[in-house]
Structure 1
Amino acid sequence: MSAPVAPAAVPGQTKRVPLWDNARFIAITLVVIGHAILKLIAESDTAYGVYLFVYAFHVPVFVAVAGYFAKANPPGVKQLKRIVTDLVLPYLIFETIWSVIHSLRAGSPSIDLVTPSWTLWFLLALIVWRVVLPYLALLRFPFLISVVVSVAAGYLPGVGGAFALDRTLALLPFFVLGWKIRQLPVTAIWIRASQRRILIVRAGAVAVFAALAVVIAVNVPLWRDLKIRRVFLFEQAYPEFGYDQWWAGALRLGAIALAVVLILAFLTLMPRRSTWFSPLGQATMYVYLLHSFVLYPIRESGVLSGPQNDLLLVGMIAFSILIAVALSTKVVQRVFRPLVAPRAKWLFAPSARGA
């Protein structure tokens, strides 16, 4: 996302690389789509299939892109300040807003800063991932260790949703994966690759996504029964959604393996050159934090509940794309910058203000 990560440039360069901005915008648009169609999946197998397709990879992609721009060296004053201004303060601001909304709806005041509302878990997760990464980078097999942590966390019911700890641990491998990808010159090689090689690799990526779509479409009732949706959410302990067997961790391990393949396929399909939506990829934090306020009244109104036809699904997908575009505009950034990206110079000690 634009606010919590460094500029989208190849290591050693300061120029933005369009590929990453393109990936950011497509990923955040998929996030909006996933949230927009959630209420449709109970009554529509088509909506459920689209939902599974999106959730198989879109959050892991988002996390991996954030990891790509993370730094594994010990944080300095500037990095620590950005954790506060880009993550801690927006979390406190928006969680307070959501607490007020929930209080008004319930008719009684309630401020809860421990259990993140809707999308705000990602801010807390980013804080932990950034702090933990320098320590993981000291180890010999950081990605393997993160996978073990993710799978093991699902066996521990005590790792609950407080401060989004369940998702933070479950999705850690994708953050580490993004960081590991940056250690290799893959971006530079991909950008310089011949058109023929690009077409071959992209054809393979399309085949991967096509196979995923087919597998999901022909077995929707089975995926419902197996509660695969809950597996793709990367939250909660396995027994909490019906899997108390010793082998339950294999479900998360399989989801991680699938997501890694889909992340690589997704990135190979991203345009390497600037597109009309490349500039929009620099404002994904605004889309991420604000789109839920657009969708909340619609979801709570009940219009998406009950039997629906596929036209509504198509309409919500189109509406989601419009939301992502609209919330990426400069006007929205200017209006909501104090909430999304507060500078808060007054908060820091004089010795830290110049950093």
Structure 2
Amino acid sequence: MTSLDPQPRVRPRRRVPLWDNARWIAITLVVIGHGILPLIGASDTSYSVYLFIYAFHMPVFVLVSGYFAKSGPPGPSQLKRVITDIVLPYLIFETIWTLVHWLVGGNFWLDYATASWTLWFLLSLAVWRIVLPYLVMLRYPLAISMVVSVFAGYFPSIDSTFSLSRTIALLPFFVFGWAIRQRQLTGRWLALPPRIIWRWRGAAIALFTALAVFIALNIDWLRAIKIRRFLLFDEAYPTIGYDQFWAGGIRLAVMVLAMVLALAFLALMPRRATWFTALGSATMYIYLLHTFLLYPLRETPVLAGDKPWWVLPAVIALCIAIAIVLSQPFIHRIFRPLVEPRARWLFRQEPRTETGTLVLPPDIRG
């Protein structure tokens, strides 16, 4: 091909509606979980809904991220994406939250080692992307990540600094998402006839129904054993109050259940495009921005104490509306410099060899 030949067109990668549907539903559940948090202390119904959502929603979100992660040797382009897509947004939004806390509380304390509210996910995602190519070189990456996750829970020194506790604890779900793609389960699922699909969906509905009934009937016991703190995956067992040697079995059980529920969740996702499919490409905007809208509900007593029954569905409806609004294109245009900073100024433009040495132009090489 000469320089005069037309360049071949690169076909854009076709998006699979199932995964965009899963992305948007998962991030909407994240918003709902954060929105109803102030209600769970005084309402068993709210706490039941909260536990139901937290049993699988964050594992699903991490799984989806792992499904689309690259496991090959990281190249310059991939490493740049880690910086522009994850590290820079973290620094930007952590700085913004520091200013918010300063304006509200009067104390200015800039601490990039401790993530504000939901920003832990960005730190964890950066580590997961970097670690995955090395982890999958091992023979049993999923089993190894599960063992590491359970074992790490015994050490209180593995805490929330740089989101280390959640990074290690939730790593198996990231690897699980990668494993699903490696086994090409999406293609097999999409190829199944409707009658088989609905058998699996019926089983998924039965599983979620059983989970909801179990939580509702045992809500006092679940409060007593502090199961919520296990579902957050951010504390060591002794910190929660479990010094026993078998405490890791609780995390393992929660983890296995969450993986099964994640598969059931994906089975219930529409395989075709829906009204919210296009919204699934905006999950990071929703994740980073929804906390600013929910912050007043979290930090004020407006939802504290015993509330009428209609407050819970009203808050859920509000959270769904927030997810829809933050998915809109005008939000992307306004906040793209914060959520997706390009930062071309940050990277050197000189061509380099594989060893990183500078390639000099011919007139200088002589």
Could you state the TM-score of these two structures normalised by the residue count of structure 1? 0.95
User: What pairs up with 1:312-331 in 2 under 5 angstroms?
Assistant: 312-331=311-330
The 3-state SS of whatever aligns with 2:71 is: coil
Separation (CA, whole Å) in 2 of partners of 1:244 and 1:304: 34
- Residue of structure 2 equivalent to 1:119: 118
Seen in structure 2, the aligned counterparts of structure 1 residues 25 and 52 have a Cα distance that, compared at 3 Å, is same
User: What pairs up with 1:48-67 in 2 under 5 angstroms?
Assistant: 48-67=47-66
- Residue of structure 2 equivalent to 1:177: 176
- Residue of structure 1 equivalent to 2:227: 228
Seen in structure 2, the aligned counterparts of structure 1 residues 128 and 17 have a Cα distance that, compared at 3 Å, is same
Shift, 1:108, TM fit:
2.6
Shift, 1:352, TM fit:
7.0
Separation (CA, whole Å) in 2 of partners of 1:234 and 1:195: 36
- Residue of structure 2 equivalent to 1:8: none
Shift, 1:288, TM fit:
0.1
User: What pairs up with 1:67-146 in 2 under 5 angstroms?
Assistant: 67-146=66-145
- Residue of structure 1 equivalent to 2:267: 268
The 3-state SS of whatever aligns with 2:121 is: helix
The residue type equivalent to 2:62 in the other structure is V
Aligned residues: 342
Seen in structure 2, the aligned counterparts of structure 1 residues 133 and 147 have a Cα distance that, compared at 3 Å, is same
Deviations 1:316-336 (A, max 9, x none): 000000000000000000000
The residue type equivalent to 1:346 in the other structure is W
Shift, 1:14, TM fit:
1.9
- Residue of structure 1 equivalent to 2:290: 291
- Residue of structure 1 equivalent to 2:360: none
Shift, 1:13, TM fit:
8.7
Residues 38, 297 of structure 2: 8 Å contact kept: no
Separation (CA, whole Å) in 2 of partners of 1:336 and 1:40: 30
Shift, 1:249, TM fit:
0.3
Bigger shift: 113-122 or 99-108?
99-108
Residues 150, 173 of structure 1: 8 Å contact kept: yes
Residues 77, 352 of structure 1: 8 Å contact kept: no
Deviations 1:293-314 (A, max 9, x none): 0000122121110111221110
- Residue of structure 1 equivalent to 2:307: 308
State the 4+ residue runs in structure 1 displaced beyond 3 angstroms. Answer: none
Could you state the TM-score of these two structures normalised by the residue count of structure 2? 0.92
Separation (CA, whole Å) in 2 of partners of 1:151 and 1:85: 32
Separation (CA, whole Å) in 2 of partners of 1:227 and 1:82: 38
Separation (CA, whole Å) in 2 of partners of 1:329 and 1:172: 31
Separation (CA, whole Å) in 1 of partners of 2:199 and 2:12: 28
- The answer to whether the aligner puts 1:208 opposite 2:207 as a matched pair is yes
Separation (CA, whole Å) in 1 of partners of 2:43 and 2:99: 33
Shift, 1:106, TM fit:
2.4
Shift, 1:189, TM fit:
1.2
- Residue of structure 2 equivalent to 1:151: 150
Separation (CA, whole Å) in 1 of partners of 2:154 and 2:173: 19
- Residue of structure 1 equivalent to 2:241: 242
Bigger shift: 98-107 or 148-157?
98-107
The residue type equivalent to 2:140 in the other structure is F
Max Rg structure: 2
Separation (CA, whole Å) in 1 of partners of 2:314 and 2:334: 28
Bigger shift: 300-309 or 114-123?
300-309
- Residue of structure 2 equivalent to 1:4: none
Bigger shift: 41-50 or 95-104?
95-104
Residues 83, 127 of structure 1: 8 Å contact kept: yes
The residue type equivalent to 1:203 in the other structure is G
Separation (CA, whole Å) in 1 of partners of 2:31 and 2:351: 36
Separation (CA, whole Å) in 1 of partners of 2:308 and 2:123: 37
Bigger shift: 96-105 or 332-341?
96-105
Q: Percent identity?
A: 60
Residues 48, 215 of structure 2: 8 Å contact kept: yes
- Residue of structure 2 equivalent to 1:259: 258
Give structure 2 stretches of 5+ with no counterpart.
1-10, 353-366
The 3-state SS of whatever aligns with 2:280 is: helix
Shift, 1:105, TM fit:
2.3
Separation (CA, whole Å) in 1 of partners of 2:211 and 2:170: 21
Deviations 1:2-31 (A, max 9, x none): xxxxxxxxxx99210000000000000000
Separation (CA, whole Å) in 2 of partners of 1:86 and 1:185: 26
